[in-house]
Structure 1
């Protein structure tokens, strides 16, 4: 039910987003955006599945990078979850998951080059931090009763293996399967920084105006995601994980001297590297903050807040599409298809497409973030409404929506929304690589200019900003007595 703190918080975030719209750049700059959009949809409706020779290889490598990266992330995440109660471990995990996969890829590209290790580590490292957090919460919520039934003198390891793991296994398996779907999206967008996955060919097709080719790639990706339950069976997962490293492709040999130089010289702030004093270091840091960090932070925060509220509005409009309390089976099936497409399309790919059609501004980023995250939350809330039992004489239409269902799901809706706040912030920062003036834009510019010291400092600032938003989201959920960890 609604309460004054919940309503007040909702209107506060709405007011912040409206204020952000006043200062945000949301213009459409292309000469004929609707004609371009029409050509794109025509390309999707008339896909060309046989034009790109490397498409099958790209799909195979997209899957392979996802399996290897997620497998490594889940393995090390599980080990970290066992000691997650330690403050240093929690801080470490929060830091590595706060840096987006594309930022990790940009870092590793500087010394590993286009080696498969770049893509694998770019997925595995942030996912290890995510897995550690979620696995630890799942293990903590395990029923303690089975452990009490074990014989006296049973060791700690035996208690863990025979009591806690069996009780938590279903949730661990479900969440890991969900992260595999996320891993496929992460693997696909690695192509935008040069890795041989689906995003590489998608970007090439768009840059040449080959919309039918791009449409074919998107359709294949949707089919890949939608059919996951059919081909990813528990008994086959070990086989997939064992075979995937052999399909990652080859790369140039790693020059370990470049790795050492990157960490000992390249990322060291220029004044320290040149033997200058604290005065020069202070001037270097001040220039970085004034000309790059602060503008990037401002645009990242503004875009995040607009996208967060847009996500919320879209979620509330979307959940009736799959709710059994509105319409019949045909409408719900159509709604499921629309939400699957929305949540299966990575924000980065969707923003890239819209930028090509509408021109550079914040508008494509807002729409991309809102569609993807709104599809996810709309699906989860719609599923919750299907469990709600209404009276036979319950009102219909808008009255049913506003008086019967919305008050019952609004608090879970806010819990999901604030839980995804930090995720929206991470994506907002990385969208700067596409030319939007968020922190990712300045990171990418520094790397292009071979100023790795500035790039690493900006990535650190991005991570701290994400950690701060995550902490603020948890604080708001606690104050409003919302569910701390929404169940997917």
Structure 2
């Protein structure tokens, strides 16, 4: 059935998650969570699309930030992909993509303030690292044969433009379109730190108990994502990209003296700014590690491992919803709609909603991460399972699922799961801004207390943790000889 190393690895991660549950805070602390959940769903089915005059402006700015940020990220990433074989470039890209967009936004807010540049750079910088990695992999897999057929004196640039680009164009375009969808989700959640995108109005609606307003915003966001193939056309992209900067808003003017002070004073460790000097660095680092870094790392790792296994369980349960080997067209269409909602809802927004309904604990974060990532993997595995041909005498129902399909897709499922591991870690850290005691909680607390030196150190620790998990995930995939990830 399964190869023994694959089975052992699965059970090891399951055991780690079960042990993590013993230390995780997954209690529901709301006084009447079912009533609140019912009110929320009632608001979703009775949306109020006309209550907020700024709603359409927020949607327009959400799209604008996404287009400008993704455009800058893709251009920068493409240029970096050309020299990605250099170790310093790979290290730089790994570092910038290991820091979540909200962390970048929190950094830029300290010296750019609520200026459009804050949101644009918060998306563009990590996306540049992601694009560089994926673009370089796509270019490396290009067929070398056309290059050998060129005349001997053909220049390097001409050879690149006439051989590699045509061969990789479809993959590059497909991945960029997928990343634009991710950019819309990233742009939406920037509103939770004060930028004028959808998240800002969603948070305001929830804090005031206006569930019908919040439901309208979520529905419009789902429609925006679902209709992308209709309004994101290649011929219209230049119009969108050139026009988007004019709809970002003006914001407050940038005080450039604040920028200089941030880099020369604010992020310098406090002992080095005072009389203690290097002699006080040991005590400063020790206090930060004991009281902030270690608790944050512990909770981040626990939450990540529990969410990773929960993601796997949901993905395995969800993929039959769209597989052609189960049910008819109506059921599969309903399954597609359900998975679109799951994977289109940003983890941050879903966790925020569940926190309002269930109270502060790790449970909303686990459910949010598992639903979003499980929806993504379930969709990919469901599509893959549909391409499998079964025997005419193959069993049906549960036996078909258990004995025919799961064994055939399980290795691909694990590959996708370990690919998402680092992404789940990134999201787990940032969910601390909502009040869950992961690394993001301590980063946000340090910023609120104007301790930017501690905040930057904690962000560096978060990036290092994400890079470590990414390396470990790659090692496990290589060790188990799991299939290479598709570009999307």
What TM-score, normalized to structure 2? 0.99
* CA distance 1:146–1:176, shift in 2 (3 Å): same
Q: Secondary structure of 1:139's partner?
A: helix
1:182-331 equivalence runs, <5 A: 182-331=182-331
1:277 deviates by 3.1
1:209-268 deviations in whole A, cap 9, x for unaligned?
A: 000000000000000000000000001001100000000001111111000000000000
In 2, are the aligned partners of 1:419 and 1:486 still within 8 Å (CA)? no
1:107-147 deviations in whole A, cap 9, x for unaligned?
A: 00000000000000000000000000000000000001111
1:275 deviates by 3.7
Cα root mean square deviation, aligned: 0.6
Q: Which residue of 2 aligns with 1:457?
A: 457
Q: Which residue of 1 aligns with 2:152?
A: 152
Pair 1:95 & 2:95 matched = yes
Q: Which residue of 2 aligns with 1:105?
A: 105
Q: Secondary structure of 1:30's partner?
A: coil
Q: 2:321 and 2:435 mapped to 1: Cα distance?
A: 34
In 2, are the aligned partners of 1:352 and 1:434 still within 8 Å (CA)? yes
1:39-438 equivalence runs, <5 A: 39-438=39-438
Q: 1:104 and 1:129 mapped to 2: Cα distance?
A: 13
Q: 2:387 and 2:237 mapped to 1: Cα distance?
A: 32
Q: Secondary structure of 1:215's partner?
A: helix
Q: 2:338 and 2:98 mapped to 1: Cα distance?
A: 29
Q: 2:170 and 2:484 mapped to 1: Cα distance?
A: 20
In 2, are the aligned partners of 1:415 and 1:486 still within 8 Å (CA)? no
In 1, are the aligned partners of 2:300 and 2:438 still within 8 Å (CA)? yes
Q: Which residue of 2 aligns with 1:478?
A: 478
In 2, are the aligned partners of 1:474 and 1:484 still within 8 Å (CA)? no
* Unpaired runs of at least 5, structure 1: none
Q: 2:454 and 2:146 mapped to 1: Cα distance?
A: 53
Q: 1:290 and 1:102 mapped to 2: Cα distance?
A: 25
In 2, are the aligned partners of 1:114 and 1:251 still within 8 Å (CA)? yes
In 2, are the aligned partners of 1:28 and 1:361 still within 8 Å (CA)? yes
Q: 1:487 and 1:76 mapped to 2: Cα distance?
A: 18
Q: Which residue of 1 aligns with 2:25?
A: 25
Q: 1:477 and 1:465 mapped to 2: Cα distance?
A: 18
In 2, are the aligned partners of 1:198 and 1:217 still within 8 Å (CA)? yes
What TM-score, normalized to structure 1? 0.99
1:46-103 deviations in whole A, cap 9, x for unaligned?
A: 0000000000000000000000000000000000000000000000000000000000
In 1, are the aligned partners of 2:119 and 2:190 still within 8 Å (CA)? yes
1:362-394 deviations in whole A, cap 9, x for unaligned?
A: 000000000000000000000001100001110
Q: Secondary structure of 1:2's partner?
A: coil
1:399 deviates by 0.5
* Unpaired runs of at least 5, structure 2: none
Q: Secondary structure of 1:420's partner?
A: helix
1:36 deviates by 0.3
Q: 2:5 and 2:454 mapped to 1: Cα distance?
A: 42
1:155 deviates by 1.0
Q: 2:277 and 2:251 mapped to 1: Cα distance?
A: 41
Q: 1:339 and 1:289 mapped to 2: Cα distance?
A: 40
Aligned residues: 488
Q: Structure 1: which 4+ aligned runs deviate by more than 3 Å?
A: none
Q: Which residue of 1 aligns with 2:448?
A: 448
Q: 2:215 and 2:24 mapped to 1: Cα distance?
A: 31
1:487 deviates by 4.0
In 1, are the aligned partners of 2:17 and 2:309 still within 8 Å (CA)? yes
Q: Secondary structure of 1:177's partner?
A: helix
1:486 deviates by 3.3
Q: 1:154 and 1:486 mapped to 2: Cα distance?
A: 32
In 1, are the aligned partners of 2:99 and 2:463 still within 8 Å (CA)? yes
1:272-294 deviations in whole A, cap 9, x for unaligned?
A: 01142333110000000000000
In 2, are the aligned partners of 1:69 and 1:124 still within 8 Å (CA)? yes
Q: 1:408 and 1:448 mapped to 2: Cα distance?
A: 50
Q: Secondary structure of 2:259's partner?
A: helix
